[in-house]
A and B are shown apart, each in its own frame.
Chain A
Amino acid sequence: EPEVTQTPSHQVTQMGQEVILRCVPISNHLYFYWYRQILGQKVEFLVSFYNNEISEKSEIFDDQFSVERPDGSNFTLKIRSTKLEDSAMYFCASSLAARGDTQYFGPGTRLTVL
């Protein structure tokens, strides 16, 4: 069964450093998403991406964040200058269509900012 994959599974970084989290969505999916979950809290939407551009973003997704689809398979989330409060689990998701279609989640990257 096709699945979303994410690398690395765990990333440890120093405050102020840049990190890039990588995702490979399901191959025929067209819509891509990033969510985050701070430990003990709910899953929060960050950004959605379609046709090589951002469709929607949340208040969390400020200028420190960017997304890119550098080739036909990868979808990346970059945090330019990490802060302690960026420590969280970051989930990538993809869906075939929009408007209510099932979103399939990757296993997540645990980001720890020291």
Chain B
Amino acid sequence: RKEVEQDPGPFNVPEGATVAFNCTYSNSASQSFFWYRQDCRKEPKLLMSVYSSGNEDGRFTAQLNRASQYISLLIRDSKLSDSATYLCVVISATGANSKLTFGKGITLSVRP
């Protein structure tokens, strides 16, 4: 089983749509969870951290289910500017540092 596995894509949705992305992770010792956003040929940028209680940031809602080792991201009222690749990222802290383990990403295209 891959360390971090994301839904296959791409997603192509109209403006205003609600879209949900899912992600599973294999290491039950994983400690921290994030969604990053990556635009074409650019660096990954932190979108939001994911907490066990679930968290919301404007139109974005992230959920974590530790028992099922499952993370989700919900985007409401999609905008054209949301078009990007969304990366599920997990940290399994070892030693003094924490390496980020990335999923392959899922590409979202929002059309007018």
By a beta-carbon cutoff of 8 Å, the part of chain A in contact with chain B is 31, 33, 35, 41-45, 48-51, 55-56, 58, 89, 91, 93, 95, 98-108, 110
Contact = CB atoms under 8 A, between A and B. Distances in A.
Nearest to B44: A105
A29 B78 CA distance: 34
30 contacts: A31-B97, A33-B97, A33-B99, A35-B100, A41-B104, A42-B102, A43-B44, A43-B87, A48-B97, A48-B99, A49-B97, A50-B97, A55-B97, A56-B95, A56-B99, A91-B43, A91-B44, A93-B100, A95-B98, A98-B93, A98-B98, A99-B93, A100-B91, A100-B93, A100-B98, A102-B34, A103-B100, A105-B43, A105-B44, A107-B43
A102 B46 contact: yes
Contacts of B102: 42-44
Interface in B29-55: 31-32, 34, 38, 41-46, 49
Nearest to B89: A43
A98 to B, nearest CB: 5
B50 to A, nearest CB: 11
Top 3 nearest A-B pairs (CB, nearest first) are A100-B32, A48-B97, A105-B43
A50 B86 CA distance: 28
B96 interface: yes
